[in-house]
Structure formats: structure tokens, C-alpha cells
Amino acid sequence: MECEEEERIRIMSKKLSLVTCFIVGSLCFGQECPDQVFMDPNSIPFVYDPNTIPFDPVSGVRGILDYRIVTVGHQLTWEGWWCDPENNPATLTVSAGTLAFPTTNTFTWIMTPTSVTVTPITFTITDSPEEGQIAETRKGTLLVAAVPANKPPVLCGGRP
């Protein structure tokens, strides 16, 4: 009976060590984050004013994350995520539309355009570093081109 109890304690100890390793490891070592990548401005298939795209404070470029084309009056949804190499908490804001946060470090952005126009939607993320460190901010823009609804063709009987 004593051997069974020792074995149970040994197994529980290993499980606890494994859980501690995952929790402390993620807190101490941060995350493996990819390099920030922005789109080539010449790859956008519609006309937009580049002066409406803010500069990313870290790279110094006008950062375009993506583009979408949507019909006026139709809802547009765009999903994304972020990470911080030191695993600092971060605050994400957006210049228009609605943000939802379905899981940690992910977001869903929703907007329904009401007129035919190109709208730059700027996402800003700022981390909350440890005391004595300076907060870092990144900016990226989603370009949204709202186009008019397509009118259906008309079928007529007989000759015009």
C-alpha cells in the first residue's frame, strides 16, 4: 500500500512539474513572434490616398496589413491576431468599426459600409511593459473599398 502511495505522489509531482513548466515557461520566455510584414502598396487593386495611411512608429513605413472590397450595406468581417515577444499585455484599438476578442491575442473586426468610398481602418496595438520599460506601439491599416450594389438584369418577354 505504501508503494502505491509513493508511486501516486511521484506521478502527481511529475504532472505538477509539467504544468509549472508550461505556465512559468510561457511567462518567462515570452512568445515566438514573426516579423511584422506589410503589403506592397502597389498590389492594392483600387485607387486610394496613401496620405491616409499612418506611419508605423517602429518601421517608419505606411503599413498596409490587407485590403477588402465589399458591397455597400453588406457586413465585412476581418480576423487577426497579435503577439508580444515578452508576452506583455497589450491594448488593441481601431479607428472605425467594432472589435471583438474571441480568444486571447485574437480579434474579429466588423463593419458595414454605408457609402461608396475607400476607408483606411487603422489598427493600433500598444503593449504594457514592465515598470521602467517604455511602451511600444505598432500601427497597421486595412483598406476597405465599398462598392455599389450590382443591379440585377431584367428579363422581358416579347420584342422591345
Residue 157: what are its φ and ψ, rounded to 5°?
Answer: -90, 155
Residues 6+ apart with CB under 8 A from 111: 75, 76, 96, 97, 98, 121, 144
How far, CA to CA in Å, does 8 sit from each of 11, 12, 13, 20, 149? 5, 6, 9, 18, 67
pLDDT single digits (tens) 86-123: 889 999 999 999 999 998 889 999 999 999 999 999 99
Residues 6+ apart with CB under 8 A from 55: 61, 62, 63, 139
For residue 27, give the amino acid letter: L
Least confident of 5-9, 17-21, 125-129, 149-153: 17-21
User: 10 Å Cβ neighbour count for 147?
Assistant: 15
| Per-residue pLDDT at 17 | 37
The answer to whether 113 and 148 are in contact (CB under 8 A) is no
Protein fold of 41-147: Immunoglobulin-like (2.60.40)
State how far the Cα of 145 lies from the Cα of 68, in Å rounded to an integer: 6
Task: State the pTM of this model.
Answer: 0.75
All three cell numbers of 111, joined, read: 463593419
* For the chain, domain boundaries: 1-30, 41-147
The answer to whether 54 and 60 are in contact (CB under 8 A) is no
pLDDT single digits (tens) 145-154: 999 999 999 9
Cα of 12 vs its chain's centroid, Å:
39
**In the predicted model, what is the mean pLDDT of the chain?**
84
